[in-house]
Amino acid sequence: MIAARKCAVVLKTYAWDSFVHRQFRRLQSMFPDTDVFLSVDETNGFAGTIPHDRVLRTCNADMVTMGFANRFEKGSLIWWNADYTHYQVRARIPDYDYYLFVEYDACITGDGSRMLADMMADGADLVAHPIDSGPQWYWTRFHAALYPGTRLHASLNCISFFSARALDHLAGRRRAMSVANGAEITFWPLGEAFVASEVMAAGLSFLPLARYGDVSHYNWFPPVLETDLGRLPTGPAFIHPVLDRKRYIASLLRHTHFVRHYFMSGSALRRELARFPGEVSRVQLYRAAANRAKERLRLACGGT
C-alpha cells in the first residue's frame, strides 16, 4: 500500500523491558507492511541489546548537538520537549513523507494501514488530539507571552502523525527559538503547546485524532491495565496510557486526583487496588496520599 511505502512508524521509549517489548510487538502487528522503528532515550544509561534492526538511540546531548536549547521547566529535557526526538528521527531516516510517533504506553487498534492511508489522503500535516487551551488549561498562563490569546493551541501528542514538511518546519522553529539557549524566552514552551501552536501559525493542516478512531480512553489519566485491553470495544481506537501491572499501580498511587480517595474504601482508587491484594501496604497508600497532597498544594500555589 501507499501507506507502507511513505510512512515510518516509531515507538518512543526510555527503557527496554518485557512490557515495552510487548508494546512494540503490538505496534508491529498493527502495521505489518510498514517500517516500524524504536526510538529509545538513553540519557539515563544504555538500554541494552534490543533484538530489532531498526533501533534509533538518543540522549539529551544529541538534542543539544542538533541545535535545540537545553531548556525545560519541569521533568527532564526530552520529557518537556517530547518533540525534540521527532526531529532527530526525521534527520536519521529522511526518506519518508510521513511519520507516526507512538509513546511506549500508548496503543492503537483497528486497521493500521487503512488509518495511515486515510491520514495521507486527507492531506494532514499533523494529526493529534486537541487540548482545550483556554483559561482552564493549567499551562495557558505560562505560555501567554509567547502565544498570546488565540495564538495558543495545544495537543496531546502521545500518538501523533506528521508530514515531513511539518517536522522540518517545527525543527526550524525550535532552532530559531534556541539561539543563545533561548535567552529571550522567559518560559520555554512545552511540547504540547509548541507543536500545535506552530503548526497552526504556519497554516499547516491540523486534524483531530478522533477523525480516525475512538479516543474515549485517550488521556493522561486514568490508565488502562494492559490485561484489560481485550475488554475495550473493538474497532479503530487510540488508547493512553496503557500500563503493565507494576506501572499501573504506581500510576494510580501517584496521579489519583482527590486526596480523600486514598482513604475512602469505595473510591475508584481503592476498588482498583483491591484487584491486587497484598501489593500495596497501608503505609505505601498513606505515603502516596501525603505526596499527592504536597503536589496539589504546590500546583495551587502556582508552581509548574
pLDDT given at position 1 = 44
Residues 94 and 27 in one domain: yes
CA 298/CA 4 separation, integer angstroms:
47
Residues 134 and 211 in one domain: yes
Number of domains in the chain: 2
Residues 265 and 168 in one domain: no
| Torsion sign, CA atoms 211, 213, 214, 220 | negative
Given its phi and psi angles, is residue 8 left (phi above 0), alpha (psi -120 to 50 degrees) or beta?
A: beta
Q: What single DSSP character describes residue 208? A: E
pLDDT given at position 5 = 54
Q: How far is CA 293 from CA 74, 161, 240, 290, in A?
A: 19, 36, 25, 5
Is residue 10 situated within a structural domain?
yes
pLDDT given at position 3 = 47
Q: Give me the residues paired with residue 217 across strands.
A: 239
Inter-residue contact 127 to 211 (CB < 8 Å): yes
Is residue 154 situated within a structural domain?
yes
pLDDT given at position 300 = 85
User: Where among 218, 237, 257 does a domain terminate?
Assistant: 218
Q: Give the structural domain span for 262.
A: 245-300
Residues 180 and 261 in one domain: no
Is residue 225 situated within a structural domain?
no
Q: Tens place of pLDDT for every residue, the chain, 304 residues?
A: 444 459 999 999 999 999 999 999 999 999 999 999 999 999 999 999 999 999 999 999 999 999 999 999 999 999 999 999 999 999 999 999 999 999 999 999 999 999 999 999 999 999 999 999 999 999 999 999 999 999 999 999 999 999 999 999 999 999 999 999 999 999 999 999 999 999 999 999 999 999 999 999 999 999 999 999 999 988 999 999 999 999 999 999 999 989 999 999 999 999 999 999 999 999 999 999 999 999 989 888 888 8
Residues 93 and 207 in one domain: yes
What's the whole-model pTM score?
A: 0.95
Residues 71 and 137 in one domain: yes
Residues 120 and 249 in one domain: no
pLDDT given at position 234 = 85
The CATH number of whichever domain residue 65 belongs to comes to 3.90.550.10
Neighbours of 44 (CB within 10 A): 11
pLDDT given at position 276 = 97
